[in-house]
Structure formats: structure tokens, C-alpha cells
Amino acid sequence: MSTPREPESVRVERLRDAQAQAGALFDEIERRGMVRPGVGERQLSDEIRDLAADMFGVSRHWHRRVVRAGENSLLPFHADPPDRVMADDDIAYLDLGPIFEEWEADFGRTFVLGDDTDKLALRDTLPRVWHAGRAYFEAHADITGAQLFDHVVDLARAEGFEFGAPIAGHLLGEFPHKKISGDDARFYVAPGSDEPMRRTDPTGRVCHWILEVHLVNRARGFGGFYEQLLDIA
């Protein structure tokens, strides 16, 4: 006998709750000034792991915690650069995937240490590109992942930045969503993802998506990152 599925309204609420808790985790990271000069990326990752466990009882993250600063912030998710210590006038981004009671969150934000105007401009552009991407998604009922990717890349260029990643999002759901996604392009906001994003997944459940924006200032040698749920407000 198969296990009864939770109603879609419950899935939506749990994904929304997981994101809210991720947002609270980021708020606490900022309140404590954890992204700071002199801390190494790996050390900060471990500190965040401990904070998430203390605040929410998080014991697992569905993807590795990504902490990138300075030139490392140019690199996409799958890169594995050497550990870097943050400087006084640095930029850094966090990409975290904590699991709250078996429900995934995926949340990313960028932090600027100091008052470098180029770094502040990139940080402030990230949510603007993200929201413009969401608006385009909402305005096009049959949009594909490839079409949304192309549009977000165009938005980045219009703002004067390069898009720094091979994807601009992915499916999200109950842990572990990789069991239903794998490496198939159709489960990503990426080139080759040619099915409508508004569809059901192979298990018959409604697809829910993360939209992620990675902008880079190649000339200055840094980047930034912003991500959260696309289709659930």
C-alpha cells in the first residue's frame, strides 16, 4: 500500500515555512556579524552549521554549505576553490540548503564588508534582477526553464553584469528532491530545459522552483548571489 500524500496546500505551506526559517537563520547571521573580516570560509560554514543546529535543530543540509568571498565569489556552485579568509573591504555570499523537518529550503544572500561602491551596487542589483525574473515567470504561463534562464541572463547584462552560473534555478521539495531530479536539464532553469515549468514531476506532484541569480563583475574580480522560492510567495 502506498503512503498517502499530503495535500498540495500542505506542501506549499511547509515549503513556505522552511524558507521563512532559512530567512530567520540569515537574519541571525547578519545580526551576529558572522560574515566578518578575518574569518575563513570553512570556519564560517562550520559556525553556520552550529547556529542552524542551535536555532532550529537542523542536522542536515541537502547540499553542501557554500561560503564564497572575494575572487571565490566569481565561481559557481560546483567549484571547489581553496579556503579564503575574508578581508576588511570584502564581498561574500552564502548559499545554504538547510532541511527543516524533512523539507528543503534553498536561500542565498550577499554581504558587503566596507563601503566599496561597486560591491554595494552588485549586492543591490541582485534582488532587482531576481524580482524582474519572477515577474517574467508570472507573466508567461507556459514558460520553460530555458526561456527563463535566457531572460535572467539578459536582465543581468542590462544591469551591466555577467551572469556567473550555468543554471538560474531548480526544483525544490521534500528531502531529498534529487531522487526525482538527477542531472536531467528539465529539472533546472537552464539551457535545454524545454518543458513548461508549470507541470507535475514524475511522482505526479506540482513542480515548485527556486530562482537563483549569480552576478559577477569580471573586471573587479568578484560576484554575488541571491536565491529563494520562485513560485511560492
pLDDT digits (tens, 9 = 90+) for 129-184: 999 999 999 999 999 999 999 999 999 999 999 999 999 999 886 544 555 445 68
pLDDT for position 144: 98
Would you call 127 exposed, middle or buried from its count of C-beta atoms within 10 A (0-12, 13-18, 19+)?
middle
State how far the Cα of 145 lies from the Cα of 158, in Å rounded to an integer.
20
pLDDT for position 102: 63
* Cβ pair 171, 181 in contact under 8 A: yes
| H-helix or E-strand spanning residue 110 | strand 107-112
State how far the Cα of 74 lies from the Cα of 11, in Å rounded to an integer.
34
State how far the Cα of 155 lies from the Cα of 138, in Å rounded to an integer.
16
What radius of gyration do the chain's Cα atoms show?
17
Extract the residue ranges of the chain whose pLDDT is less than 70: 1-4, 58-64, 100-102, 173-183
Q: Which residues contact 63 (CB under 8 A, 6 or more apart)?
A: 77, 95, 97, 106
State how far the Cα of 158 lies from the Cα of 107, in Å rounded to an integer.
24
Third-level CATH fold of 8-229: Creatine Amidinohydrolase (3.90.230)
Residue keyed to cell 522552483: 209
pLDDT for position 61: 54
pLDDT for position 101: 63
pLDDT for position 146: 98
Q: Which residues contact 7 (CB under 8 A, 6 or more apart)?
A: none
171: which 3 cell numbers?
A: 526544483
What pTM does this model have? Answer: 0.91
Domain assignments of the chain as residue spans, ordered by start: 8-229
pLDDT for position 151: 98
> Phi then psi for 214, rounded to 5 degrees?
-120, 110
pLDDT for position 128: 98
